[in-house]
Amino acid sequence: MEPIPRPAGYEAPAPPQAEVARPPEAPDPSKVLLRWKLAVDSPLALRLEGTPEKGADAVPPPAKKKGKGAKENPAPEPTASKALNIVYVLQQPETGDLVLRVVPSGGTPDQGTVSERGFVLDGLDRTTHTLAGLMLELPRDRVGTGDKWSLGTDLVDTAPLGPGFATKKSDRRNSVKLTALTPEGDEQVATLEYDLHESVSGVLSPPASPSRINRHGHGKSPLGKKEADGHDKEKEKPSGTPRDVSTTVTVTGRGEFLVKAGRWRAWKGAISAKTEGYTPKSPASTVAQLPEGKYALRLTPLEGVPAELKLEALK
């Protein structure tokens, strides 16, 4: 095919210029990226201590005796919750995410993996997962003084209550704030303040008992069978009385994170968890995702890591 002749004076358009790649924007010097920084052969151990508040969990008084000569029971003496003593060991393997070893005093060790910002990726049971998230999770983006963000954790889970629970009221607050960036020699200290609260209240209706059929009247008589089918089948009835259930969990705290070293220098705070109207059958069926009671918390780094807690000992 012959080319189409161009008109006189035609000028071909200039070829499009290649787009020049723009250099990445320089990070805002007033903001910092908070990350855990561990070398492959340098695990980090942190100890979390929780001191229970005296009288936080008072034993309920026994039922009063009735009748002649009955004596009043003495007022119950408040009993404190069991103290918390947990060691967290963070270790960077040669490949992959950080490995987190959780060793509670007198309890069963647990293990999971976390990202470089401390977000729990997998492993760990319910309350262990929540506590670890509070202690380890850092903001996803760069942050500056006054910035706020939320943690990826739930303080209350109503799933164990089942389909019979109907929420009437709920409240949630999840905020961590960078309040200060302070230079200290070659280091920079980020001060973080925690303010988390979650409460849920509602009514828990007991499961309905299965329907029952009265077999009386069944037999050869069609009339008797018809009456039994039409009148003797009982409707499903609740096996108990609906009751009010409420759970409230609150967390406050203040921590100092070393930006360049990539670890906590100190963390102090308090947690409070209270559930009314429901008693879990097992630790896996708790509604509050933190230990029941009130605790003063303190997280401190340990100078060394016991050999049995290092990653090599876990293979």
Please measure the distance between the N-terminal and C-terminal CA atoms of the chain and give it in whole angstroms: 73
Q: What's the whole-number mean pLDDT along residues 238-265? A: 93
What is the band of 11 on the pLDDT scale with cuts at 50, 70, 90? confident
Give the C-alpha separation, 86 to 41, whole Å.
22
pLDDT of residue 210: 58
DSSP 8-state symbol, 41: T
pLDDT of residue 172: 97
Q: Which residue has the higher pLDDT, 168 or 314?
A: 168
Please, which residues bridge with residue 276 across strands? 246
DSSP 8-state symbol, 307: G
Lowest mean pLDDT among 44-53, 58-67, 169-178, 185-194: 58-67
Whole-number percent of the chain with pLDDT over 90: 60
Beta pairing class for 187-204 and 148-149: unpaired
Give the C-alpha separation, 192 to 183, whole Å.
15
What is the band of 314 on the pLDDT scale with cuts at 50, 70, 90? very low
Lowest mean pLDDT among 135-139, 153-157, 211-215, 284-288: 211-215
Reported as a single tens digit per residue, the pLDDT across 60-117 is: 444 444 444 445 444 444 445 789 999 999 999 989 999 999 999 988 999 999 999 9
pLDDT of residue 61: 43
Please, which residues bridge with residue 266 across strands? 256
Which range among 2-11, 73-82, 193-202, 225-234 has the greatest average pLDDT?
Answer: 193-202
Does residue 195 surpass a pLDDT of 70? yes
Q: What is the mean pLDDT of the chain?
A: 83
What is the band of 29 on the pLDDT scale with cuts at 50, 70, 90? confident
Identify which of 22, 77, 83, 73 has the alpha carbon closest to the alpha carbon of residue 50: 83
At position 259, the amino acid (one-letter code) is V
Whole-number percent of the chain with pLDDT over 70: 76
pLDDT of residue 82: 86
3-state secondary structure of 219: coil
Give the C-alpha separation, 33 to 260, whole Å.
10
Instruction: Give the DSSP H/E element, type plus range, for residue 132.
Output: helix 126-136
Reported as a single tens digit per residue, the pLDDT across 204-250 is: 998 766 555 455 545 455 545 554 455 444 454 455 799 999 999 99
